[in-house]
Structure 1
């Protein structure tokens, strides 16, 4: 018998929801109305309260007593009738309560994540020059610019939807076409809404990890974890960093974990696919990891191509 129980436990692991239902079931079996207590010979020290009246059907709702060792030690007023209107009302009430609880938990998670980012990395990484790169001041004077603006703005406006799907953006194009501007605009909008975002060049990202080697208060694993778990990671200028076996492995570790956990990532790059593979692969090394990184980024992203004349300084 004991072996059977062990096998069942190993094969049917109890989830928190299973345990909650089990406790609710146990509690329900130990709950009685005053009439049920009398019929079962259960005594009480404190008299039960008067029945409530259902606001929908007008019928009395009997209080329920919690039984311990054949005695009611606590009476609970029962305000939930089983009539159709009452059931519908309380279902909607419970739904709203659950939504509010989830909202508060998400806010707390966001605050904790942002606090962690600030502690480990100093800030979200948007440098002073790009802190004014917002959606309103992005130039939309050509059809191509208008199209890419709409894609980026839609992404920011509907981030919760894209986050749930693990969708990102892959922004490729030549210098001075507004790739970083749109990436920064997305980051600034989401940060203003309280959403944790890290927006850094790939070089700065790798530098943050290296700094942890000499920082007694912060470990490499903690920095990597922040990059892997932040709600949105934006890597600007992917391919400009100095490539090495370490940098290739570090980028792969971060981006592969985010891919597997369905965490959205946005990248900007000046290279086409083949050029980026060459830029990220160290000389003499196999490019399998880099090919996998780029393939997964493109697979889970809307690809935006921004190839027109450099507009900086004009």
Structure 2
């Protein structure tokens, strides 16, 4: 009998679902219980194919735009948030709708409105085309928010009134990347209004912190998540920056290329905020088939945050 090679598997904690994702998935499940199938969902409720397919099997229909939904069935808006025009159109059509926007994203929307009321020029640090960015910019009239994607953008931006500026950030960015851009803005505009509390969400920060601890000395770090998931893509970048020899984003154990393990004795494993825990277990099981695995949990924070469901689903 051949003995399996040893592998130390450093498992990040926290990892996987955050409170906002948990709440969004529950909203779809509760809506299906309350109104029956089908329930329409505008945009993927969270960026994970496995989650979407499970909800589709329960009777959820995912669409990109509200015009694809019939007037007489409930519609749910995704956790990333939507432009104001979307609920306005739903009200106009007398649709039943439930907003599953993460409360931490809603907080950024409220901040944007407050700055706009105070006639500030608003800069949003984020990635063009991401649904959260589209939703946040869509809270205000066109042109009221300027997107800043890079340090170069921050250095090149020319405000109308440098004394009356504010910035916001997409919640799922890398803390380090944002710090650099924020630093560039504050160096140029010392009076720029900053968020009351860091916009980058607690779960994004916690998952990145855990990866920073498990990555040094790891021959490979696997991050379970979708390519469309901003926070998952950031975890790969954070792992490499923190000293992992290699880091790969995988949707599930099926996507592992086992040649990556050549010469690897220490593996880091985490999951983005929209990846379910059964996918983590699937990767551990796949590793156990090939290696003599010792699991070490790297715990850097306790997460106790929960968010209430919208009132329309209560009772």
TM-score bracket for this pair, using the shorter chain length: under 0.3
Bigger Rg over Cα: 1
1 or 2, which has the higher helix percentage?
A: 1
1 or 2, which has the higher strand percentage?
A: 2
Q: Which has the higher contact order (CA 8 A, sep 6+)?
A: 2
Question: What TM-score, normalized by structure 1, do the two folds share?
Answer: 0.27
